[in-house]
Amino acid sequence: MLSGIILSLCYPQFNLGELIWISLIPLISAIWFGSAKTSYKKRALRGATLGYAAGLTFFLINLSWLHHIHLAACTLLPAFLALYFAIWGAFAATIGRPSFFDSKAVDASLKSKRLFSNPSIESLRCAFLNGSAWCGLEWLRGWLFTGFPWNGLGVGLKNDLVMIQIVDLIGVTGLSFVIVFCSSIFTSLIFRIAREIKTSRLKAHPDFAVGIILIVSIFIYGTNSLTKEKEDHIEVSVLLVQGGIDQTEKWDANSAQKIYKRYWDLTTPYLTLEKADFDLVVWPESSLPYSLHDKETQTYLNNILSVNDFELVLGLNENIPQEGIYNSIVVLRKNTSTAKTYRKIHLVPFGEYVPLRSALPFLEKLASSAIGVDFTPGKKAVPIKMSLPEHYSVIPLVCFEDTFGNLARKFIKNEPQLIVNVTNDGWFGKSAASEQHLANAMFRCIELRRPMIRSANTGISCIIDSTGNLHDRWASTPGGKRMIYGDTKKNTFITASLPELIRIPRNPKQTLYARMGDSFSIILGAISLIAVMAHIFRKLIRFRK
C-alpha cells in the first residue's frame, strides 16, 4: 500500500515525479522477503495479493476524479486495473525473485565464501525479467478491451524532459522497463549490502553499475535530443480558443445561441486586428451544439470564415442519415463547402458507445440512461492536408486518442506534420484529470517528434513542441508556458483565447517508435511470458520424475 501511495504522488495533482525511482521498492521488498520454505504456489498467491493491494491503492487515488462521471466508476475501474499489478506481483514473487533471498541458501553460500558464484548476474536476471513483465503488462493494459494506457510508470517522469526523450525509441511503456529494472537492482542491493555488513564481507556490485550506466546513457541521449540545432521549419500563426462551456449548458438547446456568441467573441476580435495574420484557428471537441450539416451552423461558420483568410480546425459532430453519428474534427477555409473531416476511430466505452448494448438487456437500459445513441467509429487514419502559410498536414486526435501512441503513429508521413488534439475535460470537474490528460498527451510529441496543439473546451489548451516542452525554446525572448491554464487552485474552467506561434519541422524524421510502435514492450513482454512457460515446463518435468 505504501508503494501505491508513493506512486500516486508522482502524477498530477501532486507532481512529485522524482519519487518514481523509489516508489516500487516497498512493494518489491514485501514480495521478495517471503519465507524460503514457502511453496511457489503460495509465493505467487502472496505476491499477487501484495501487488493487488499496491495497484488498488494507486488507482483509487490516481483515478479519484472518476466520481465526477459515476460513483461506481471510481471503484470498479481501479479494482480491474489493479489486476495488472497482481499479475506482476505473482511474477516477481516467483520467476523474478532472486535466489539469494532464500536465507538458508545464503547462509550456506556465505560459509563457503561464495554467494551463488555471481549474485550480480542473478540480480540482473531478475531485474530484466521484472522490467520485461511490467512493460509487457502495461502494453497489454493499453490494448486489451480497447485499452486504457492512462498513467503508466513512464508518465510519472513527465517533468524530467531529459530522461523522457528516449521514448522516441522505446515508447512510454518502454520507459517503464527502465524504472522497474533499476528499482529491482536497488532493492536487491539494499538486501545484499545489509547481509555483507552483518558478515563483514563487503563485495563489488557490478549490477548496480549496470543500472547507473543505463540511467547515464539515457541522460546523455536526452541531453543530446534537447540541445540539437534549430531545424528548418514552417512558422504557423495560430489562435487557440478555449470555450469554457459548462457541461450542463453544452447540449442544452436554450444555451445554443450563448455558445455561438462565445466562440464568435473569442475569435473574430483577433481576426479583425490591423496586423492580424492568423493561419490557423483551433476550437475544441464538439465546440458547437449542432451538427456540421445543420443549416444554422453552416451559416454561422461561413460568417466567421468570411472575416479573414485562415484555416479553422474544430471539433464537431456529424449526423449522417443511414450511416451514423461521428465525433469529428473538421477543417474549413473560406466556407463550409471546403470541409475536410476526420472521424474519431477510438471511441470511449460507456462514454461514446456501450459494448454489447443490443445483446444484453441490462446494458441497453444502462445505455439509454447514460449516452443514449452510440457514436459510430471512423475507419481512416489519414492526416488532413493544410495550406496556410504553406503545405503541411495535421494528425487529428479527438479527446483520449492522444493517449494512444500506437494510433497516433498510423498518421505519420514523410512531410511536415502537426498533431492537433481537440478535447473536452469538463466531464471530470475541477480535478487532476485535465493535468493527467496533458501529461499523457505530451509523450506523443516525443515518440513521434511532431509538435502538438491541444484545444480544450474545459481542460488545458496549449502548444507543445517535439521534445514535450511547453515553452518556446527558440524564441528570442523566452516567456512562460504557452498554455491556457488556471490559477494556483488549478482551475481549468476558463474562457480564453491564446494567440501564438508554432514551428513545424519541414523535414521531420521518422522515429524508431513511429516505425516500430510498441515492439520493444511487446518483445520484452513475450520474453517474460516465455520465462513463465519455461518455468512451468521445468516443474512438469520434475513432477513426472
Q: What is the CATH number of the domain that holds 470?
A: 3.60.110.10
What predicted TM-score, i.e. pTM, was given to this entire model?
A: 0.93
Q: Classify each residue of 382-418 as buried b or exposed e, where b means 16 or more C-beta atoms within 10 Å of its C-beta.
A: ebbebebeeebbbbbbbbbbbbbbbbbbebbeeebbb
**Residue 478 confidence (pLDDT) above 70:** no
pLDDT tens, position by position, 515-529: 999 999 999 999 999
Torsions phi, psi of 144, nearest 5?
-65, 140
Q: Say whether both 395 and 486 belong to one domain.
A: yes
Residue 103 has pLDDT above 60, yes or no: no
Same domain, 10 and 113: yes
42 plus 121 within the same structural domain:
yes
Do 126 and 272 lie in one domain? The reply is no
Q: Would you say residue 372 lies in a domain?
A: no
Q: Is residue 542 part of a domain?
A: no
**Is residue 462 pLDDT above 90, yes or no?**
yes
Percentage of the residues of the chain whose pLDDT score is greater than 90: 74
pLDDT band at 476 (very low <50, low <70, confident <90, very high): low
In angstroms, the CA 355 to CA 363 distance is 8
Domain presence at residue 370: no
How much is the mean pLDDT over the chain?
Answer: 90
Q: Which three cell numbers stand for residue 250?
A: 453544452
- 260 inside domain: yes
Rounded average pLDDT over 408-436: 94
- Judged against a pLDDT cut of 90, whether residue 531 lies above it is answered with yes
192, 334: one domain: no
Domain boundary among 173, 206, 228: 228
State which of 63-77, 385-399, 531-545 shows the largest mean pLDDT: 385-399
Average pLDDT over residues 36-60: 91
541 found inside a domain: no
Q: What is the mean pLDDT of residues 211-220?
A: 97
Q: Comparing 537 with 463, which gets the higher pLDDT?
A: 463
pLDDT of residue 216: 98
Residues belonging to the chain: 545
pLDDT, one tens digit per residue, over 145-169 is 999 999 999 999 999 999 999 999 9
pLDDT of 59 reads 97
Residue 488 clears pLDDT 50, i.e. is over it:
no
- The predicted pLDDT at position 69 comes to 79
| Residue 182 pLDDT level (bands cut at 50, 70, 90) | very high
Domain termination site, one of 228, 258, 292? 228
- Amino acid identity of residue 173, one-letter, is T
Q: Are residues 153 and 178 in the same domain?
A: yes
Residue 359 placed within a domain: no
21 touches 180 (CB < 8 A): no
pLDDT for the residue 165: 98
Which range has the worst mean pLDDT, 407-411, 419-423, 458-462? Answer: 458-462
In sequence order, the 6+-apart residues with CB closer than 8 A to the CB of 37 are: none
Q: Are residues 245 and 180 part of one domain?
A: no
Alpha helix segments (H runs only) across 319-397: 361-370
45 and 177 in one domain? Answer: yes
Domain match, 76 and 220 both = yes
Helix axes 295-305, 256-271, angle to 10 degrees: 20
The DSSP output letter for 203 is -
Cα–Cα distance measured from residue 109 to residue 317, given in angstroms and rounded to the nearest whole number? 69
Number of domains in the chain: 2
Q: What is the pLDDT of residues 164-178, one digit of tens each?
A: 999 999 999 999 999
Residue 113 lies in a domain: yes
How far does Cα 530 stand from its chain's mean position? 27
Q: Is 146 left (phi over 0), alpha (psi -120 to 50) or beta?
A: left
**Does the pLDDT of residue 345 top 90, yes or no?**
yes
Q: Which of 193, 228, 263 is the last residue of a domain?
A: 228
Range of the domain at 436: 233-345+380-506
Residue 38 shares a structural domain with residue 105: yes
Both 275 and 212 in one domain: the answer is no
Task: Confirm whether 181 is domain-assigned.
Answer: yes
pLDDT at 448 over 80: yes
Is 323 found in the same domain as 213? no
- Rounded CA-CA distance 526/133 in Å is 8
Among residues 125, 150, 61, the alpha carbon closest in space to that of 401 is found at 150
